[in-house]
C-alpha cells in the first residue's frame, strides 16, 4: 500500500507469483470438494448395490426357514406298474382341510406347502381297492414320501394302513436335525484352544 494522501490509500497488486499461488489454492479446494462429492456418489452407488444384493438373497435364506411341509409319492399296483390318474386325497386331521389331485402319467403325486400336523391320505383308482394311510406327520422343511400299492379289486373295498413312524426321505438332499447344547458343548475342539 502506498500513502498518497493522509486519507487515500492506493492498493498495489500483489506480485504475479502470489496471485498464481492464490488461484492454485482455490483450484485445489475446488478439486478436493469435487473429489469428495464423487467419493460420496460412488459410496452411495456401492451401498445401493449391496442393498439390492441383500434384498435378492434375503428370500433365498428365508426359504430355508419354513413352517410348512409336504407329502409326495408314487402309486403303483402289486406288480410295480405305475397307476396314472389315480385320485389322491389329503386330509389334515387337525383342521379338516382337504386337498385332492390326480397322479401324473408316471403315477407320482405331490402336495406342497401343507401346514404342519397329522394327515390322512386316501388313494383311489378304478379297478383297484381304495387305500387309506393314517397318522402321517408333516414336519417343517421335509416332504413325507409315501409309496402306495393299490391291490386289484373287482368289488369296492378299502384297505387302511398306518404310516410308519419315520419315513425315509428319498426326494430331497436336505437333512434336518436338532442339536442340543449338551452335544455342542461335548464336541471336541480338535486341539484348538479358544481361551
SS3 157: coil
Radius of gyration of the chain (CA): 38
Its domain, for residue 85, covers 68-162
In a domain, 140, yes or no: yes
pLDDT digits (tens, 9 = 90+) for 133-156: 999 999 887 889 999 999 987 665
Pair (59, 81) in one structural domain: no
- The C-alpha cell of 5 is what? 494522501
pLDDT digits (tens, 9 = 90+) for 95-137: 999 999 999 999 999 999 899 999 999 999 988 989 999 999 9
In a domain, 137, yes or no: yes
Pair (99, 148) in one structural domain: yes
In a domain, 27, yes or no: yes
Average pLDDT score over residue span 162-188: 68
- Cα separation, 87 vs 158, in Å, equals 14
pLDDT digits (tens, 9 = 90+) for 10-68: 555 555 555 555 555 555 554 555 555 554 555 566 666 666 766 776 655 554 556 78
In a domain, 179, yes or no: no
Please count the structural domains in the chain: 2
pLDDT at residue 182 in the model:
79
Share of the chain above pLDDT 90, in %: 35
Pair (155, 81) in one structural domain: yes
Starting at the edge strand found earlier in the chain, the sheet holding 108-115 runs 108-115, 68-77, 143-150
Pair (54, 138) in one structural domain: no
Amino acid at each position: 500500500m502506498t500513502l498518497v494522501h493522509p486519507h487515500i490509500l492506493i492498493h498495489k497488486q500483489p506480485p504475479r507469483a502470489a496471485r498464481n499461488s492464490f488461484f492454485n489454492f482455490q483450484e485445489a479446494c475446488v478439486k478436493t470438494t469435487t473429489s469428495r462429492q464423487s467419493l460420496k456418489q460412488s459410496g452411495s452407488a456401492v451401498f445401493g448395490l449391496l442393498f439390492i444384493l441383500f434384498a435378492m438373497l434375503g428370500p433365498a435364506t428365508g426359504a430355508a426357514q419354513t413352517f410348512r411341509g409336504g407329502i409326495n409319492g408314487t402309486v403303483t399296483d402289486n406288480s410295480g406298474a405305475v397307476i396314472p390318474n389315480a385320485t389322491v386325497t389329503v386330509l389334515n386331521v387337525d383342521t379338516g382341510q382337504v386337498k385332492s389331485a390326480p397322479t401324473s402319467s408316471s403315477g407320482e403325486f405331490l402336495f406342497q406347502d401343507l401346514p404342519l400336523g397329522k394327515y390322512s391320505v386316501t388313494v383311489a383308482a378304478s379297478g383297484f381297492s381304495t387305500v387309506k394311510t393314517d397318522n402321517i406327520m408333516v414336519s417343517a422343511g421335509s416332504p413325507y414320501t409315501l409309496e402306495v400299492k393299490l391291490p386289484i379289486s373287482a368289488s369296492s373295498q378299502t384297505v387302511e394302513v398306518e404310516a410308519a413312524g419315520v419315513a425315509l426321505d428319498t426326494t430331497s438332499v436336505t437333512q434336518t436335525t436338532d442339536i442340543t447344547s449338551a452335544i455342542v458343548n461335548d464336541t471336541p475342539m480338535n486341539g484348538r484352544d479358544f481361551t
